[in-house]
Amino acid sequence: MSTDTQTPISPEPQRKNILEEILSGLPPQIRDTLQKFLREILAGIIVVVLAISLWFGYSAYINRQENQAAIAMGMAVQQQDPAKKMSALEKIMHQHDHTVVGKHALLLLGGIQRDSGQIEEAKKSFGLAKKEFSRDSFLYYSALMGLGYLQEDEAKLDEARQTYSSICEAQKGFDAIAALDFARVSSALGFNQEALDAYNNYLSMKPQSLQLDFVRHQIMKLSNEDKTLGEDSARQKKKKSG
């Protein structure tokens, strides 16, 4: 009696994972070395994936915080009452101090405080803003401009002159307006030639400026003053020699 023999079913070959397929294509020496550290490699991949996931999560969090701060800033600048506007900006600074918008709020607050006559508070705001931004940022020089105007308000013209000079030298976007400020303060202190140089420098930077007529008038005024001083000096010398 014949018995039917069943052909054994060969087990289905186990599929390789992606990493094994990559390893199989490598030279034996390299493959053997990598297989020894397969667990460490997989652990490293997991760490990288986790780090990327955390980064995207953090970026989303930062974007959300910036958006919230921007909305608050929009509402603050719409306030017509200076006191309410300052209060709203201070709230942004406290609640969103880690955001870019929160740092910008310092500059706006300093300007409003100065306009409202709160000189000491404005000094503090501009001083904090100056610390928040690096010297490579034009916002640093925006804070410095605010401090320069406060120095003028307090009749500290020598300090203001030095401040405007440093802003001009930095050339971070405020050099044109700082040239006018430097010229104004220099003229007030009697440095007419330096004031003239600054006004002429401004004209070279902004030949189509709306301030063109004003600057030309100042140049003519200072030139005439220097001419008058020169003539007076010559007459005095002539009298002494006579």
Question: What pLDDT is recorded for position 70?
Answer: 85
How much of the chain, in percent, has pLDDT values that exceed 90?
A: 42
List the structure tokens of 7. Answer: 């052909």
Residue spans of the chain under pLDDT 70: 1-62, 226-242
pLDDT digits (tens, 9 = 90+) for 64-99: 878 888 888 889 888 899 999 999 999 998 888 888
List the structure tokens of 230. Answer: 């020169």
Question: What pLDDT is recorded for position 99?
Answer: 86
pLDDT digits (tens, 9 = 90+) for 164-186: 999 999 988 889 999 999 999 99
Q: What is the DSSP letter of 15?
A: P
Please answer whether residues 73 and 105 qualify as being in contact, where contact means their C-beta atoms are separated by less than 8 angstroms. Answer: yes
Phi, psi of 210 (to 5 degrees): -70, -15
Question: What pLDDT is recorded for position 7?
Answer: 54
- Whole-angstrom distance, CA of residue 222 vs CA of residue 218: 6
- Whole-angstrom distance, CA of residue 6 vs CA of residue 103: 81
Question: What pLDDT is recorded for position 23?
Answer: 56
Helices (H), the chain: 18-24, 28-36, 38-77, 82-95, 100-115, 119-132, 138-153, 157-170, 175-188, 192-205, 212-241
Question: What pLDDT is recorded for position 58?
Answer: 46
CA dihedral defined by 234, 239, 241, 242, rounded to 10 degrees?
A: 140
pTM over 0.85: no
List the structure tokens of 22. Answer: 């990559």
Question: What pLDDT is recorded for position 186?
Answer: 96
- Whole-angstrom distance, CA of residue 26 vs CA of residue 154: 76
The CATH H-level (homologous superfamily) assignment of domain 133-232 is Tetratricopeptide repeat domain (1.25.40.10)
- In single-letter form, the type of residue at position 113 comes to Q
Residue spans of the domains in the chain: they are 51-132, 133-232
Which residue matches tokens 């009696």?
A: 1
